[in-house]
């Protein structure tokens, strides 16, 4: 009965290993490299408000979510956007190709307004005041040659803001002119329908951050959808749609500092990490083989399975590999071997007491399990604390270390308890009598 159970587990192990190899060789699961390995841009942004003005945690978290959605829309692989302290947001953009575009997009407040200008069409690019931005900056004033304000910018009533939008997307007409389609929320649609029904033939000017985008004529009642035109290029239309789709920042942000990380450093770091990892694994394999002999061979096989499973999980879950993350993986590799050491030492103790090999194997695994479980659970608790610290305080290096270490610990429990035990029972158990007479094969 026990032998049948071992063959069932062996089948499960083979299936898991095959699935891991498939993931590792599948181009649809690329290895994600962090900023320190791939290169890219690190940006620290701060709330652009007076020092005595309060900025709530909810405002900063909302700003973080909006910035995160914006940088994901750029196509950055595995960006990091975290609140740091009470007024700052840390942004890491691995592999970014156009830093200026990214900075412009994530910093933009994108306040969209539909403004009632009555019978007055306004030219694109004109800066105006609205009932929502009475405190518009000086660029909205008409300035004379001597630097004095000749006339204030005109003020118009706001009908609806971007908060009334549900979604926005880019389209093109038959002439290749790009425009932005938008859909309204239920509340926004009601406001729009009432205004457009009462103002047929008048102008409804579209304003983004106090600057006129276009000034179309109301020719129909708009209840749930409309378009924004303005002689856009494709890039301009895509950027506008992204800004509208992901909302306005609750507080303006200014760039506190930027740091460009070169890819050359990443390549050197990757090569050094790979060499260190290979050397470390080879040394561990040799140690287990020399010291524990036949069980060491089985432990080496389990360790190879552990490495395959770990990288398959990293690729499958899209874990971002940084230097601290790789360090966490290498540390978990040592812990995976440590579990085997506990088991084999228990087995050797039972053999020295004169127990039969099969009984020694069962006793060794059962008694070592409590130590393995408790040590790994303690490590997982520490990983959770480190991960929480990294998420809340912007310490991405700590977070990456905690994630890979936790994954490695959980996989090591599987390989040490199931893979090693199954191989030991099937290989050593079938030759128990012979090995009992040649105890040197067990390192005793």
Bridge partner list, 127: 211
Which residue is listed with tokens 């360090």?
327
Q: What is the pLDDT of residue 18?
A: 93
pTM (global) more than 0.85:
no
Q: Is the pLDDT of residue 67 over 60?
A: yes
Q: Half-sphere exposure (CA, 13 Å, Cβ side) for 271?
A: 6
How far apart, in whole angstroms, are the C-alpha atoms of residue 444 and residue 438? 9
Listed residue (277, 290, 384) closest to 333, CA to CA = 277
The per-residue pLDDT for range 311-342, each reduced to its tens digit, is 899 888 878 777 788 888 888 887 778 888 88
Q: Is the pLDDT of residue 107 over 70?
A: no
Parallel/antiparallel/unpaired status of strands 149-151 and 142-143: antiparallel
How far apart, in whole angstroms, are the C-alpha atoms of residue 37 and residue 211? 41
Bridge partner list, 352: none
Q: What is the pLDDT of residue 395?
A: 62
Q: Where are the beta strands (DSSP E) in 223-366?
A: 225-232, 253-261, 320-321
Residues above pLDDT 70, as percent of the chain: 82
The pLDDT-based confidence of 100 (bands split at 50, 70, 90) is confident
First to last CA, the chain: 29
How far apart, in whole angstroms, are the C-alpha atoms of residue 149 and residue 151? 6
How far apart, in whole angstroms, are the C-alpha atoms of residue 126 and residue 112? 15
Listed residue (68, 72, 73) closest to 242, CA to CA = 73
Q: What is the pLDDT of residue 164?
A: 80
Q: What are phi and psi of 342, to 5 degrees?
A: -60, -45
The per-residue pLDDT for range 354-404, each reduced to its tens digit, is 777 778 878 888 888 888 888 889 989 998 988 887 766 656 668 788 888
How far apart, in whole angstroms, are the C-alpha atoms of residue 425 and residue 437? 17
Spell out the domains of the chain, with CATH numbers in brackets.
2-30+262-442 (1.20.1640.10), 40-107 (3.30.70.3400), 112-247 (3.30.1360.200)
Q: What is the mean pLDDT of the chain?
A: 79
The SS3 assignment for 31 reads coil
Q: What are phi and psi of 208, to 5 degrees?
A: -120, 115
The SS3 assignment for 123 reads coil
51 exposed, middle or buried (CB, 10 Å; 0-12, 13-18, 19+)? exposed
**Tokens in use for 236?**
């301009």
Is residue 92 within 8 A of residue 396, CB to CB? The reply is yes
Q: What is the pLDDT of residue 248?
A: 63
How far apart, in whole angstroms, are the C-alpha atoms of residue 221 and residue 224? 10
Beta carbons within 8 Å of 320's beta carbon, 6+ residues apart: 32, 33, 34, 78, 80, 94, 400
How far apart, in whole angstroms, are the C-alpha atoms of residue 53 and residue 181? 37
Per the document, the length of the chain is 444
How far apart, in whole angstroms, are the C-alpha atoms of residue 162 and residue 241? 11
How far apart, in whole angstroms, are the C-alpha atoms of residue 247 and residue 244? 5
């Amino acid at each position: 009965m026990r032998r049948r159970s071992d063959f069932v587990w062996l089948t499960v192990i083979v299936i898991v290993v095959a699935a891991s190899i498939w993931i590792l060789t599948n181009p649809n699961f690329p290895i994600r490299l962090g900023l320190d390995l791939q290169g890219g841009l690190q940006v620290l942004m701060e709330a652009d408000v007076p020092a005595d003005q309060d900025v709530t945690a909810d405002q900063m978290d909302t700003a973080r979510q909006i910035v995160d959605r914006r940088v994901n829309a750029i196509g950055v692989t595995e960006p990091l956007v975290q609140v740091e302290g009470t007024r700052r947001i840390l942004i890491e953009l691995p592999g970014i190709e156009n830093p200026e575009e990214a900075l412009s997009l994530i910093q933009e407040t994108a306040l969209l307004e539909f403004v009632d200008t009555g019978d007055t069409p306004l030219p694109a690019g004109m800066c105006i005041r609205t009932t929502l931005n009475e405190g518009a900056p000086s660029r909205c004033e008409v300035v004379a040659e001597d630097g004095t304000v000749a006339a204030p910018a005109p003020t118009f009533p706001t009908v609806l803001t971007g908060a009334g939008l549900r979604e926005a997307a880019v389209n093109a007409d038959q002439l290749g002119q790009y425009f932005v389609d938008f859909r309204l929320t239920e509340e926004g649609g009601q406001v729009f329908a009432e205004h457009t029904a009462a103002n047929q033939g008048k102008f409804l000017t579209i304003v983004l951050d106090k600057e006129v985008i276009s000034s179309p004529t109301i020719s129909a009642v708009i209840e749930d959808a409309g378009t924004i035109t303005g002689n856009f290029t494709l890039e301009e239309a895509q950027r506008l749609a992204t800004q509208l789709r992901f909302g306005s920042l609750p507080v303006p942000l200014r760039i506190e500092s930027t740091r460009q990380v070169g890819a050359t450093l990443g390549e050197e770091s990757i090569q050094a990490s790979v060499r260190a990892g290979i050397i470390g694994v080879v040394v561990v394999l040799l140690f287990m083989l020399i010291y524990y002999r036949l069980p060491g061979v089985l432990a080496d096989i389990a360790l190879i399975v552990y490495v395959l499973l770990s990288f398959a999980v990293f690729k499958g879950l899209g874990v971002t590999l940084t230097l601290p993350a790789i360090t966490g993986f290498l540390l978990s590799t040592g812990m995976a071997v440590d579990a085997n050491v506990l088991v084999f030492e228990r087995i050797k103790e039972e053999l020295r007491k004169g127990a039969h090999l099969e009984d020694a194997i069962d006793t060794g695994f059962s008694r070592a399990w409590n130590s393995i479980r408790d040590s790994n659970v303690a490590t997982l608790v520490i990983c959770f604390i480190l991960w929480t610290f990294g998420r809340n305080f912007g310490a991405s290096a700590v977070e990456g270390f905690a994630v890979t270490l936790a994954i490695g610990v959980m996989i090591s429990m599987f390989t040490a308890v199931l893979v090693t035990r199954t191989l030991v029972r099937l290989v050593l158990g079938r030759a128990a009598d012979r090995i009992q007479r040649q105890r040197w094969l067990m390192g005793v």
